[in-house]
Amino acid sequence: MVEKIILAKPRGFCAGVEYAVGIVEKSLLEFDLPIYILKEIVHNRKIVQDLSERGAKSVKSIEEVPKGSVLIFSAHGVPPEFYTLAKEKGLSVIDATCPLVRKVHLEAIRFVKNGYTILYIGHKGHDEAVGVIAEAPNSIILINDKTEALSVQPPQTDKLAYLTQTTLSLKETAEIINILENRFPSIIGPEKEDICYATTNRQMAVSELAKVSDLVLVLGSENSSNSQRLRECAKEFNIDAYLIDGKEQIDNKWFEKENIKTIGITAGASAPERLVKEVVSHFQQKYPKVEITELETIKEKTFFPIPNLKQKI
């Protein structure tokens, strides 16, 4: 029987998601509707659905957007040619790319300008990876995992750099970088690491949470990279961990075992706090005596102010 719930802190929205969602919210007030978002503003099904109902429609390609409309690029960033394509189509573009993703694009441009080949550690097909690699597809090689780090044969090794996606596993990425540094001793990395503060803090927080929980629930969508990593982190402590979009995906069977008394809850960087509250109230209704506490590992202060959108387009 569930007796205690511990909430990880920090959890949920990061500064980049607040920024991107804030831009859409402001655009809904300032521009004629509908407005359009290329793909998903952030990888969270409920946010995308809510914004769509209010007039911010997600589209799969620029071709789908009617001429003269406002088009928002998502927090994950886009390939550079998308800006030209949108302009050619007469669209007003608002770029909601997280500044920390933009930082990786700028590093890629700088390294390639200086003659480097880049080994980019990331997930094939993820929007962020697609955007960064498109900055210089002939000079950037994607490294998906340790096997690829062990087998990659760059065209030259004199000027080699690595960059990473912002939402990767800290542990696995460190192992991949270690392999690359052993194989290519002169390889250099970014001045400040690419895995962002929010990914780092949430992974550290869920690790502490998993140590004192019998089971961990991660609020987040299947296609959210950072949420997936949180579930993996928790599972490393030999407990069950489930990724759920919301309270309706909770399966009561998970809590039937006698030893499941303390539930740890966290949320990926794109999962809104109201989903956590709904899950907590679900447990409070089912187990009226359940105790709720919070486990804070670090305080976050990062904040990206929303720009003046009318000036921006």
The 8 Å CB, 24+ separation contacts for 244-252 are 244/217, 244/218, 244/219, 244/220, 244/279, 245/45, 245/46, 245/219, 245/220, 245/221, 245/275, 246/46, 246/219, 246/275, 246/278, 246/279, 247/275, 247/278, 247/279, 247/282, 250/217, 250/279, 250/282, 252/286
Residue at token pair 């899950």: 279
Q: Are 180 and 162 in contact (CB under 8 A)?
A: yes
| Residue whose CB is less far from ligand SF4, 164 or 213 | 164
- b/e map 19-37, b = 16+ CB within 10 Å: bbbebbebbeeebeebbbb
Binding status of residue 220 toward ligand SF4 by CB under 6 A? no
Mark whether 128 is an active-site residue. Answer: yes
Which residue from 75, 129, 136, 234 is in contact with ligand SF4, where contact means CB under 6 A?
A: 75
Q: Min. distance of Cβ 200 from ligand SF4 in angstroms?
A: 9
Binding status of residue 92 toward ligand SF4 by CB under 6 A? no
Taking contact as CB under 6 A, which single stretch among the options 11-19, 108-116, 137-145, 153-161 is the one that binds ligand SF4?
A: 11-19
Q: What do you get for the CA distance between the two ends of the chain, in Å? A: 55
| Residue whose CB is less far from ligand SF4, 14 or 108 | 14
Binding status of residue 14 toward ligand SF4 by CB under 6 A? yes
Q: Where are the alpha helices (DSSP H) in 99-196?
A: 99-113, 127-133, 146-151, 170-183
Site for ligand SF4 in 159-218 (CB under 6 A): 166-167, 196, 198-199
| Residue whose CB is less far from ligand SF4, 4 or 202 | 202
Sheet arrangement for strand 291-296: 240-244, 215-219, 262-267, 4-9, 291-296
Q: Which member of 3, 128, 172, 208 is catalytic?
A: 128
Which residue from 10, 16, 77, 264 is in contact with ligand SF4, where contact means CB under 6 A?
A: 16
Binding status of residue 15 toward ligand SF4 by CB under 6 A? yes
| Residue whose CB is less far from ligand SF4, 16 or 272 | 16
Q: Min. distance of Cβ 268 from ligand SF4 in angstroms?
A: 8
**The token pair that represents 229 in the structure block:** 């990593």
Which residue from 27, 117, 226, 227 is in contact with ligand SF4, where contact means CB under 6 A?
A: 226
| Residue whose CB is less far from ligand SF4, 271 or 309 | 271
Binding status of residue 267 toward ligand SF4 by CB under 6 A? no
Active site residues: 128
Binding site for ligand SF4 (CB under 6 A): 14-17, 75, 98, 100-101, 166-167, 196, 198-199, 226, 269
